[in-house]
A and B are shown apart, each in its own frame.
Chain A
Amino acid sequence: MKILVCVSKTPDTTSKIAFTDGNTKFDEAGVQWIINPYDEWYSLVRAIELKEANPAATIHLVTVGNADAEPIIRKALALGGDEAIRVNTDNSDAYFIAAQIAEVAKQGGYDLIFTGKETIDYNGSSIGGMVAELVDAPYISLATKFDLNGTTATVVREIDGGEETAEVALPVVVSCQKGMAEQRIPNMRGIMAARTKPLKVVDPIAIDALTSIHSFELPPAKAGVKLVAPDNVAELVRLLHEEAKAI
């Protein structure tokens, strides 16, 4: 069984969000880069668990990005995974990225493709669905559980107001979220092993991006909290009703 795990580089959750170049670029100064948490905690760790249950399985990681993505790819390899592929490009359009991953997927003939439910920077929740369409496979969005029995998967996914349990034959594309697995910390052996694991760099296929980022904008700063005395909740109710019009 071959598993492909899609990994994206994102700024750490606690990063200061600021922009440069006339608000057209994310300000990377002082930013700590991490593996997108949904890619790491849920999809990669679940893939590793599947391999632990079936040692014949192989896990490949794929990222679409420039050389700056290599440290996080090595970290992902330290958690697990047999080799990594980096598609060398700066382009950030979701369709462009999905097309690159779909190309890698077609070449590798994977049974299972995992993505995180979204990246914490762009919040598009788009790559999994696009990849599934481009490789013509079923798509399980927002999965909270994934179990494998031979070549049939049993999945639980989030739907509006609840959850749905379903069965699907491989190959399948799954977007993973909380519930799939628990976060792991790479150990020293994993970190050492990751240094020598293959990290293939491939050129992107020619494809037109369908979107481009024009500019960024920060929300207006909050006016600051209006504090109400604990013995005067009626005043809070009045403010919420008359000023904020929230109740």
Chain B
Amino acid sequence: MSVLIFIDQSEGVVKKSSLEALTYGADLAKQLGTSAEGIVLGTVSDDLAALGKYGVSKIHQVNNASLNNVDAQVYASVLSEAATIAGATVLVFSHNQTGKAVAARVAAKLKAGLVAGACALPDTSNGFSVKKTVFSGKAFAHVNILSATKVISLNPNSYKTVATEGTAVVEALAVTVSEPKVKVTAVNKITGEVPLTEADIVVSGGRGLKGPEHWGILLDLAKELGAATACSRPVGDAHWRPHHEHVGQTGVQVAPNLYIAIGISGAIQHLAGVNRSKVIVVINKDPEAPFFKAADYGIVGDAFEVVPQLTAAIQKMKAGA
């Protein structure tokens, strides 16, 4: 019996969302009185032993270059075999793009109940009940897992990473790696930007900015904050900003610590993509904008005046700190 945490890597680097999953899995193992182990697939340049500081005692590695691209079928087969070898009763994933590709397949293969999109540690006082977000962040469900083996995928940005002391033993794991049926022909990564779903702070713009040529003030603010940039659907549809920045019901769903909405009215479809954010700031010149109802802080004012002042004020605060 152990908790096995899937460590997701991209180009050899362990993702931030996986550090959250590691902390979550280690805390869960403590709660269950068992050990936490990690598993990583593919070639990794990061120091895996150092991940012990997130609470895992051992990390299994299947160091096979053919696993550098995520193939759901191959990954599911490798991970379920690994879970059996490690004697894992709970598997933890991040509910990121990789988790969405793989966790459900692994769960089906192991006939394990799955809670996808968990946001808190399970309540194990009476059974095994996991809290997850439902209705696009508008509510939570407590879901009982009834099977002996359990799979949990954790919403990114919903569990705080805690690093202490510790080193993990890294062990090569011998499992069958079959040839993927899906042939990857091109990978196109957006470089030099903070990935939206992993960002602590997101600065987002809407139609209120009146045109792509006015995005400079928003980019300056984002740069000052180390934030990712996003936009509303009309902005994406009008090609003012790239489509992958579109946040909302049909776009990307984000859950940063801070979401700053500039010139976005806050249609319910947009809110569905952002309402898991911890703190929401709305800057809009229309005091009736529905977004103010979902906001923690707001400024009713002209974005073209307020945003540069905000950037300057943050600069000043940082200089003083």
A: residues with CB less than 8 A from B are 11, 13-14, 17, 19, 37-38, 41, 93-95, 98, 117-118, 120-130, 132-134, 137-142, 154, 158-169, 175, 177-179, 208-219, 222-223, 225-230, 233-234, 236-241, 244, 246-247
Query: How many interface residues does B have (CB within 8 Å)?
Result: 96
A238 to B321, CA, bound (A): 12
Docked-complex contact B140 and A219, CB < 8 angstroms: yes
Q: Which residues of B contact A123 (CB under 8 A)?
A: 116-117, 132-136
Docked-complex contact A218 and B139, CB < 8 angstroms: yes
Docked-complex contact A178 and B251, CB < 8 angstroms: yes
Known: A120-B249, A162-B189. A126 touches B104 (CB 8 A): yes
Q: Does B97 contact A (CB under 8 A)?
A: yes
A122 to B258, CA, bound (A): 25
Q: Which residues of A contact B292 (CB under 8 A)?
A: 225, 227
The 10 closest A-B pairs by CB, nearest first: A230-B301, A129-B104, A210-B113, A162-B189, A141-B101, A126-B104, A133-B108, A246-B258, A130-B108, A139-B72
B: residues with CB less than 8 A from A are 8, 10, 15, 69-73, 76, 95-98, 100-105, 107-109, 111-117, 129, 131-136, 138-147, 180-190, 195, 197-198, 201, 225, 243-244, 246, 249-251, 257-258, 268-269, 272, 278-279, 281-282, 292-302, 305-306, 309-310, 313-314, 316-317
A175 to B105, CA, bound (A): 13
> Which of B69, B141, B190, B269 has most chain A Cβ within 10 Å?
B141
Q: Could you jot down 13 A-B contacts, CB within 8 Å?
A: A13-B136, A17-B135, A19-B139, A37-B250, A94-B114, A129-B100, A158-B97, A160-B198, A165-B186, A215-B141, A225-B298, A229-B301, A237-B313
Q: Which residues of A contact B135 (CB under 8 A)?
A: 11, 17, 120-121, 123
Docked-complex contact A214 and B249, CB < 8 angstroms: no
Q: A138-B182, A217-B131 are in contact. List 11 more A-B contacts (CB 8 A).
A: A17-B138, A93-B113, A94-B116, A125-B104, A141-B97, A210-B114, A217-B140, A222-B294, A233-B313, A234-B313, A247-B317
Minimum CB–CB distance from B318 to chain A (whole Å) comes to 9
Closest B-chain residue to A237, C-beta based? B313
Docked-complex contact B116 and A124, CB < 8 angstroms: yes
